[in-house]
Amino acid sequence: MSAGLISSSERAPSLVRDGVFVFLTVFVAGVLSFEFAQASSGVYAIWWPNGVLLAALLMAKKQRWPFLLAIGGAAIVLAHAPLPAWQPRILWLAVGCLDEVCLVALVMRWWADGPFTLTTVRQVVRFVILGVIVCPIISAIFAVGLGNVYPGHSWISAFVHWYLADALGIATATPVMLAAYRGSIPKLWKHAKAMQSAGLLILLTIGGCLCLFQPDMAVLGLLFPLVIVAVLRMGWIVGALGVLTLSILASGFTSAGHGPFAALSHATIGDRTIEMQLFLAALVGSAAIVATVFEERRRMLQQAKEKERSVRLLTESSPDVLLLNDLSSRMLYTTRAVTRMLGYQPVELYRKSFQIDLMHPDEIPAYADALDAVRRRNESRTLIYRMRRKDGSWMWAEGCISLYQDERSAEPIGFVNVVRDITHRKEAEDRLQSAYNELEVLAAIDALTGVANRRHFDAVLDAEWKRAMRSGSIISMLLIDVDFFKNFNDIYGHLKGDDCLRDIAATVSQCTRRSTDMVARFGGEEFAVILPETDEAGAAALAERIRQAVESHNVRHDGNTHGVVTISIGCSAMVPTRGSSWLPLIEAADKALYRGKNSGRNRVIRASHLPQVLWRTS
């Protein structure tokens, strides 16, 4: 039936099937209401057909409403077949019912915010306002004002009887029929707790029979906890079935003259019916409130579970590790990615210290400073540090640290640390840095001789000059020139000339043993040596050793008067003064070298022996 009412198909077999089902359910509900009313001198305690037909309209497409209303009206009239057909009140009864049902359905469909499940507070409130209060009042005014539906009763009495009967019928029948049309009731018996549902309904039926058959009014209070237990244990559908069952039992026993309502002394049948209706209204209201709160809580729990499942799916599927630490850095929660990253199971790290148990000791101070900054400024910090794997090896990680606060008090209660493995990235960066360093070294080295080039020479000399200026120490300079090198290239060729320069560079480097000394190719066949904290005498002594070492190699040079490759060296020394330049140091060494070349070559000349050079020694 639910498929027929919900389906968009308009095929005749489906329409007929829906019509037959609606006719039968409305007819059965009408007969039941009519028989109970006949036993109560024509006073309807509960009018269920409206609730049944309303549920059908709410679940059907509007194009089918005229057909369903016609079928429902015919079922209501036929349910009163035992009465003479010419009685006008039967027609007024049917017209009033159809108007009420159509009005409620139209307004509720217009006011709807989703499927009609009656499980949200908003839907229940709208259903109560429209279906239980407003529309039954309008229907009662219409029916009582235009037709004599309750002969022998005053206008007010007839209005109250009509209203209460309609309101209770909609309140008890519509929720059950909505569940039936949606297919929820058959699913209920296929549920794992079907036996528990059946047991609760049987217990509720037995309890209802016992309480509604005996004459004591106080015992009726036992039905409230039974209904509430059914709602809490099995949900609103079982609760609605239980309330409908109790309303049928109450009407049946009261109309048959049994139970606490029939036992009321000095009360008319109408008064007894109203007492029963008010009791059932209280029972329906209690069940509705509990069911609504229960369903709202269940929905919130379901949403929380879905949210938790989504968050867990995101966190657990991420290759990054999410750690939740308290303010003392103890780990309270760790995602499963920690197993892949560090080799630990999450349970192994519970309440262990992140800093002590996982972090490299050298990184702890910086990490502690970062935590302090995050807590004081309430802003995230990203930090790179080393972490210990379970096998004892170390890996590089990048952690994004943020503050975790209590939702109510906004007080800090811990830190969220999102850790990413950057070992490969760090290795790539190290390789890149190494390559950069090598490139810097290559950029500072003369490609031919392997010693520092002129650019690097200038940079080092500038740094050493400033250092000597600050400390007030002396600095020396050697300028070396290969004697008659042009003749060497002309006689032996440029390749032999390159070998000669490389040999001289290697010899000079071997003679300068201090790490602070630096050998550089000054230009062409000239070399320079920077000697920090060395006076001119020491520089001259080193220069002599270099000259002798080069000459001792006995590299043949027919273009040199000495017959072998020789060098000439000029040396100078100065104590830098504030604001001075190192250019005079080079100029002094250059003039000494020029004097050595003009005085026969293969010799060392000190700048202090040249009277025209300004110099200072220690």
Query: Where in the sequence numbering do the catalytic residues fall?
Result: 525
Q: How many CB atoms within 10 Å of residue 74?
A: 15
Q: For residue 437, give every residue at least 6 positions away whose Cβ sits within 8 Å of its Cβ, in sequence order, or none.
A: none
* CB contact at 8 A, 466 and 488: no
Three-state DSSP at 520 gives strand
Rounded-to-integer distance, Cα 100 and Cα 106, Å: 10
Which residues are bridge partners to 431 per DSSP? none
Q: Select from 508, 456, 463, 458 the least CA-distant residue to 482.
A: 508
Three-state DSSP at 103 gives helix
Residue with tokens 């010899």: 507
Length of the chain: 618
Question: Dihedral through CA 321, CA 306, CA 111, CA 70, nearest 10?
Answer: 150
Q: Are strands 604-606 and 567-574 parallel, antiparallel or unpaired?
A: parallel
Tell how far CA 518 is from the center of its chain.
59
Rounded-to-integer distance, Cα 200 and Cα 286, Å: 17
Angle at 241 between CA 240 and CA 247, to 5 degrees: 90
Rounded-to-integer distance, Cα 228 and Cα 333, Å: 39
Count Cα atoms within 13 angstroms, Cβ side, for 529.
32
Tell how far CA 500 is from the center of its chain.
70
Count Cα atoms within 13 angstroms, Cβ side, for 148.
6
Q: 431-457 burial string, b = 16+ CB within 10 Å, else e?
A: eeeeeeeeeeeeebbbeebebbbeebb
